Amino acid sequence: MGKKLVMLPANEVDLTTVKYVPEKFQAPHLTGFWIKLFVKVMEAPLIGSLIAHHLKQKNGITEMVKNTVIPEVPMFIPEFPLQEPEPGVVCLEEEGKPEERVDLALKCLPHYDPSSRWSSDSGEPFQFRYWKIRDYGYAYRSKLTTPSMVAEHFISAMEVLYNKDPSVPLLISFDPKEVRRQAVASTQRFEEGIPVSILDGIFIAVKDDIDCYPHPSKGGTTWFHEVRQVKADAVSVTRLRNSGAILVGKTNMHEFGMGTTGNNPNYGTPRNPHNPKRYTGGSSSGPAAIVASGLCSAALGTDAGGSVRIPASLCGVVGLKTTFGRTDLTGSLWEAGTVTVIGPITATVEDAILVYAAILGSSPADRIALNPSLPCLPDLSSNESSNILGSLTLGKYTKWFNDVSSTDISDKCEDVLNQLFHLYGCKTTEIVIPELRELRTAHTVTFGSELLCSLNPDCEDGKGVRLTYDARTNLALFRSFAASDYVSAQRLRRRIMYYHMEVFKKVDVIVTPTTGMTAPEIPESALKVGETNIPVVACLMQFAVTANVLGLPAISIPIGYDKQGLPIGLQLIGRPWCEASILRLATAIDEISAEYRKKPIRDKNCHLALLVTVHVFLLTAAWNRAGYWKRQRSNNMGKKRVMLPANEVDMMAANYTPQLIQGPHLTGFWLKLFVMLAEAPIIGSMIMFLVRNKNRVTEMLKNTVIPEAPMFIPEFPPQESEPGVFCLEEDGRPEERVDLALQCLPDYKSGCIRIGDPSAPFRYWKIRDYAYAYRSKLTTPSQEKHFISAIKEFNNKNPLAPLLISYDPHEVRKQAAASTQRFEEGSELSILDGIFIAVKDDIDYYPYPSKGGTTWFHELREVKKDAVCVSRLRSCGAVLVGKTNMHELAMGTTGNNVNFGTTRNPHALDRYTGGSSSGSAAIVASGLCSAALGTDGGGSIRIPSSLCGVVGLKPTYGRTDMKGLLYHGGTVASLGPITATVEDAILVYAAILGSSPAERVSLKPALPCLPNLSSCESWFSLGSLRLGKYTEWFNDVFSTEISDKCEDILNQLSEKHGCKTIEIVIPELPEMRTAHIASIGTEALYELNPDLEDGKLARITYDSRINLALFRALTATDYIAAQCLRRRLMYYHMEIFKKVDIIVTPTTPMTAPIIPPTALTVGETNLRVSGNLMRFILAGNLLGFPAISVPVGCDKQGLPIGMQLIGRPWCEASILRLAAAIEETCAGPKKKPVQFYDILKGNQIARLPATNSYTCEFRRLQD
């Protein structure tokens, strides 16, 4: 098994056996000449990759993301279970005005006593303290000063700091005129008695990665404003403006947020207010320093790895990181990230509450994806606040808590916990949090990949060399992350979320030090060149990244100082959406620690006033520096393509581009040679680069600026209810759902059963035909030995083209005998009892192995029980006959499989069935099974169904539970039935539907519904359906027979039922193909790691190895860019679904392709055929929509043609209703497949008389 580590599922981990492992990071500490040399080497093509590989191995990253089997499915964004309401809170309205929220927040605070703030018992007029926002508000309203007067003090302070030597900036973008303008407007509002809120006239700074018009957003670089123009405020900044705040400018930061020290050689490194030889921490270095300096009451920062909390802790102020999605990231440089939030840095907790109230409010996309609870604030004005505080239980992992560089830190934090207990009764409970090293790895890979994606293609467009050396070091490491590494990190994220949610069942808040050390020293050489010091960075982030990876709210509160006078912070991590609890506790800690707060160091010659006394020390500011503000915009933008936001694209003006896939068609010797070259280290990379370039993959994923945030799993807006439907209960028993589905079907007439009548037109036996025969005692499931005989006959005739690759006649007989006995006893389970159903080889069906079409996968993964869907079919009484053949590892659309033989098309034995569910489609089309289960990650149900002339249903993503499948962690695959008829698809779908518990949280599926086809109203509902057709796309087929046949169906639907067809336009279809390739390739490759690294690659067929070589070339940033495209495409389709109910296309643009003889023994790669077969189906996979393929006829060669219906999310009922109508439209004589077995024909069933409704009879028999 090599070095592979197989993790237990998180819910099976014994926490009593968990051992804490101190985190030790191995990496050089470099500055000066050595960091320059190291960067040159790291950026070199070959040696750089070797160094990155070495660093990842030394620090356990490779082991965790490549050589570990992680059983959990990925969690791409935090998925939060429902939380209990917090006691003693005031709920705010997200969609309300920010100033109204601030007013409510003000009412939550304790009573404000001016005398306690404006007098001193010590005899000094004003001993040191930070002025609170309410102090400014009182001074303005009492006319002790005005915003304009304070503005002049602020500007004077900036001028003094600017002229100091050395000049190191707090603000790197500052305009005194703009500050005065805002102050004058605020002063006028106070004079008129109409201040907007308590934040009116409050001075607030904004970090340089958050848009604040008219200032540029540079992200701490010297050039980023050249490629990204600021046209408006970020949402959070707009909310502050609406509250009356005075926004003073853009603060310094660690370049692109890629560090936790705050070092920035571009503009100068801010110094710690408590010791100018120490770092402030980062990346929000400027915001923390300007607040700690007393120059601003608050500042906005971003936090992707502690970047608000770390500098707040090191500078002795308060830093709040909200729950992921609680604040809107729109208008920040990192609005596409899944670990980043915007949060306030303030001098006190009460100020943090006020600013937080102003800026909170989820984005529209986050409201769909995250379903946030109402934001709440602690009601600190209530007498019950102390009692509520005492009821909070604090969780402390002692070994982790004490793993700090100095006992000063842990002792001070421990002292605060003791005081909380003595003063309020807060109990501290010992907890254990497993896999903290894995948590760090998950954060590194996730943050690095998402940051790099945000910077592409700018860093590839000649700008990378203008970054500082430490940033370039980080980017070189981030580039080495493969797309599968990113997926692996998201699996770790789900495990770690499970552990923390278990902890939060016992405690309300997790307490830790904020950082593992106090402010580190600044090496002199680092000021000019920068430095890389991974051990220090890791120590600063040691406790912070939990809240980022899992999206939990957290806050850092200053609690004292170490022996060197450097601030120490205590961190509180809360349950999802429970900011109120940590703010309540933080307020109490703030009160406990208030008397110990020290005045930061200041220059003796600098004593400037903002309000009454503000202490300004040896912290310097510089703006408009020569060389920084006057850089000319580069005229050479390379080949970068900048997309308009999707909501600004004129969809009807989009031009259709025929999708031509470029790639060689190879088989035999040439295929083997190509694989050998593609897998070679250097030439293989060149070949894959050429293939990617030829098909515009590089252009779309690396050289395009995509303004949308990524959408890692489909996010569906709420849909209107479908008319004329039966709603089913997901949590109910499968057999009860099937019974309800049966009631939805039209009356059954048994007179259509004619056995042995040569004049009868060909048709497939339906499930209700079998059921009628069983219940009428014309035959039994055990008497259906024709199935076993037919399989034996088939295998003798086609030894190299099997339908089933795992099959046991004894197992089939056993299930059939049990079903027969139930019929004899009158206790049949459902209409599916005794129905023969096959299972695709990537779905677990005990006791058969799941090989995924390979010869070896079952050696690594033992099947111990049925997949959820198989278990549901068993509960309904189905006879499961075995595992069907498939395209190896589902990496193809033809169905070719040289391991077991390539399944032939029942309509033409020299043609492919289509794939990857080749055996499932062929066994149904051959008449041997009424249904088969398939999986669909790229048309793998619909394509073979179309080519074989049967029905294939792909439900909405998440509608069926994927647990027990080889690819259960993917975001594009669904499980669905392949059947001979639409009504059979309805019955099997009813049995297998039901979302997994995780998907019910992340997707919030609507209730599953079925069309009520038994009602006369059904046809009226059908006539109201609006069908969307993109004509240019619809007609882009190899033969007009396909488009003509589908067009004829649309005309008949219009004539018979009044269905209207509306012309639509779908932009960016080539981008959809690219996004799908990057998504499915990355996710498939992850599922196979680390097995492929464990010697199994050589046992894979050649065509699969080519796909894997292409997938390995995908980087983590490619994967994230694909998810950004996914969001754009979702927007376009949702706009279309406002006008239509169903999108109609041919299922495939070609009928079944010919099988080259050499492909049977060696395989083949034919990207043009594979790409063309997938042309119409990708919206169902990438966007998660339900889709169905219905046979509508044959071409002149007798090959089936399928028509595809794509529905709105969760609206399977609509496409099933229309599919049933299409099937009825095509109800004339059908072409019998060349390879067909009638397993009822030998039972000597005579022509049966017509009866009443079979549904009623079956229900009577059940009763």
DSSP assignment of 712-746: SS------PPPSSEEE--TTS-HHHHHHHHHHHSP
Burial status of residue 777 (CB atoms within 10 A of its CB: 0-12, 13-18, 19 or more): exposed
On whether the CB atoms of residues 547 and 283 are closer than 8 A, the answer is no
Rounded-to-integer distance, Cα 1123 and Cα 1074, Å: 10
- Residue spans of beta strands (DSSP E) within 630-782: 641-642, 665-667, 704-705, 725-727
Rounded-to-integer distance, Cα 554 and Cα 343, Å: 10
Both structure tokens of 616: 């300004």
| Residues constituting the chain | 1263
Among residues 519, 629, 523, 500, the alpha carbon closest in space to that of 576 is found at 500
Q: Which residue out of 173, 186, 283, 1189 is catalytically annotated?
A: 283
Both structure tokens of 891: 């990496």
Q: Which residue out of 56, 66, 132, 207 is catalytically annotated?
A: 207
DSSP assignment of 1017-1078: HHHHHHHT-EEEE-HHHHT-SS-HHHHHHHHHHHHHHHHHH--EEEE-----HHHHHHHHHH
DSSP assignment of 794-843: HHHH-TTS-SEEE--HHHHHHHHHHHHHHHHHT---STTTT-EEEEETTB
Q: Where are the alpha helices (DSSP H) in 425-468?
A: 436-455
On whether the CB atoms of residues 198 and 140 are closer than 8 A, the answer is no
Question: Residue 359 contacts by C-beta under 8 Å, 6 or more apart in sequence?
Answer: 98, 236, 239, 240, 300, 327, 342, 344
Rounded-to-integer distance, Cα 442 and Cα 920, Å: 38
Both structure tokens of 823: 């019929």
Buried b / exposed e along 1175-1211 (16+ C-beta atoms within 10 A): bbbbbbbbbbbbbbbbbbbbbeeebbbbbbbbbbbbb
Q: How remote is the C-alpha of 777 from its chain's centroid?
A: 52
On whether the CB atoms of residues 1126 and 1079 are closer than 8 A, the answer is yes
- Number of C-alpha atoms within 13 angstroms, CB side, residue 435? 26
Question: Residue 796 contacts by C-beta under 8 Å, 6 or more apart in sequence?
Answer: none
Strands 5-6 and 68-69: parallel
Whether residue 1196 lies in the annotated active site? no
Q: How remote is the C-alpha of 942 from its chain's centroid?
A: 25
Q: How remote is the C-alpha of 872 from its chain's centroid?
A: 28
Angle between helices 982-992 and 734-744 (to 10 degrees): 150
- Residue spans of beta strands (DSSP E) within 181-317: 203-207, 246-251, 271-272, 275-279, 298-303
Whether residue 996 lies in the annotated active site? no
For 110-113, the CB contacts below 8 A with 24+ separation are: 110/380, 110/381, 111/381, 112/138
Q: Which residue out of 217, 284, 297, 307 is catalytically annotated?
A: 307
On whether the CB atoms of residues 563 and 275 are closer than 8 A, the answer is no
Angle between helices 579-593 and 349-359 (to 10 degrees): 150
The 3-state DSSP class for residue 332 equals strand
DSSP state of 624: S
Max Cα distance, the chain (Å): 114
Whether residue 307 lies in the annotated active site? yes
Burial status of residue 193 (CB atoms within 10 A of its CB: 0-12, 13-18, 19 or more): exposed
Both structure tokens of 1090: 């680390």
Residues annotated as catalytic (active site), given as ranges = 207, 283, 307
